[in-house]
Amino acid sequence: MRTAYRVRAYPTAEQAAALNRTFGCVRLVWNTVLAWRQARYRAEGVKTSYAQTDRYLTELKRDGGHDFLYEVSSVPLQQALRHQHKAFANFFAGRAKHPRFKSRHGRQSATYTRSAFRWGDGRLHLAKMDDPIAFVWSWPEVDPTTINPTTVTVSRDSDGRWYASIAIETETEPDPLPATGGQAGIDLGVSDFAVLSTGEKIPNPRHLERKAKNLARYQRRMARKQRGSNNRAKARAKVARAHTKVRDARADFLHRTSARLVRDHDLIVLEDLNVRGMVRNRSLARVISDCGWGEFRRQLEYKTQRYGRRLVVIDRWYPSSKTCSACGHLLPALPLSTRHWMCPGCGTRNDRDVNAAKNILAAGRAVSACGADVSHSGSSRMRSAVKQEAQPARAGVPRL
């Protein structure tokens, strides 16, 4: 299993200058090779292999105008080519967008493999640096002297903070969590971040909205500064720090929420939301982006896999809100403004979100039973499953 420890790093002024030069060289190599690949494809209509980019980098170093590339370690430059080759592979496979040019603003990083760093007694020595880089280890249960890193990625965020991501390969899997018998269907939303089939509602903290006034003030101050001046750079750093606070608060909330759900439930069921299409609504784009639904799903996926739980993602077209969780009656339409509705089939008064979460759980149980995904064509089968799940409740037998 591959895992990584991300630690806060505190390089000296000399080390920071060397790392900044490395970041600049990595950015230059990435942009130059990317421009060469695009020009070659437009002129000749052929793809470029990693070996060809490697030879192009060698020629670039020897042309007389890029002698400064020899001042930094060659490993981060080679890793930049590998990352670009992988980015193009993901692009041609339809898994990612076309690789873009790197900017000097924003996050900067450089990756070192084992030939370019030394790890001993919990100390990190990078190539072409005499002294180890100071960092803070935040995992008291793990002894840093016992790990054997494979790669180290040093990065600097736009707010000026430094990090080192230490990746390791381990053969020991974490022990699965003890079974609890709990199952939860989750309906993600905006007013409430998540509504569970148990009736629990997790409020949406709205991190970006709470910091919107400060962000707007810092951005106005930055806009009044002259471009290229030191004052503008300081103002940009304040904007970046404000965004970092929002990002850290959101990440903390998502990690705490996902960890609690994985710890308390053996089966978790979600809807496959089309977040990319939903953010096209300009009225809700900022709020939806602030929720972090995609990151929440990603965390649930790897945490359930790591700790022996099961995550089921049902089809986005399944009518969870319009289906009565008590009898399975399907409404022809349900406006978004309707938060409660009375079922014409059984007379049950349904809370829109709780009812949707119950139907999502029932659909997830059906998927667990048959081992197949929920498709749009299978919506009638899922409604039948919802009816079967509802029968014990109508007969007076407690629901699971």
The 3-class secondary structure across the chain, one letter per residue, is CEEEEEEEEECCHHHHHHHHHHHHHHHHHHHHHHHHHHHHHHHHCCCCCHHHHHHHHHHHHHCCCCHHHHHCCHHHHHHHHHHHHHHHHHHHCCCCCCCCCCCCCCCEEEEEEHHHEEEECCEEEECCCCCCEEEECCCCCCCHHHCCEEEEEEEECCCCCEEEEEEEECCCCCCCCCCCCCEEEEEECCCEEEEECCCCEEECCCHHHHCHHHHHHHHHHHHHCCCCCHHHHHHHHHHHHHHHHHHHHHHHHHHHHHHHHHHHCCEEEEECCCHHHHCCCCCCHHHHHHHCHHHHHHHHHHHHHHCCCEEEEECCCCCCCCECCCCCCECCCCCCCCCEEECCCCCCEEEHHHHHHHHHHHHHHHHHHHCCCCCHHHHHHHHHHHHHHHHHHHCCCCCC
Active site residue 271: yes
Q: Could you say which of 14, 67, 187, 266 is catalytic?
A: 187
Q: Could you say which of 121, 295, 315, 353 is catalytic?
A: 353
Tell me the C-alpha distance between 349 and 78, whole Å: 62
CA 282 to chain centroid: 22
Active site residue 131: no
Active site residue 353: yes
Tell me the C-alpha distance between 127 and 371, whole Å: 50
Q: Could you say which of 67, 71, 271, 351 is catalytic?
A: 271
Q: Are 132 and 121 in contact (CB under 8 A)?
A: no
Strands 267-271 and 310-314: parallel
Residues annotated as catalytic are 187, 271, 353
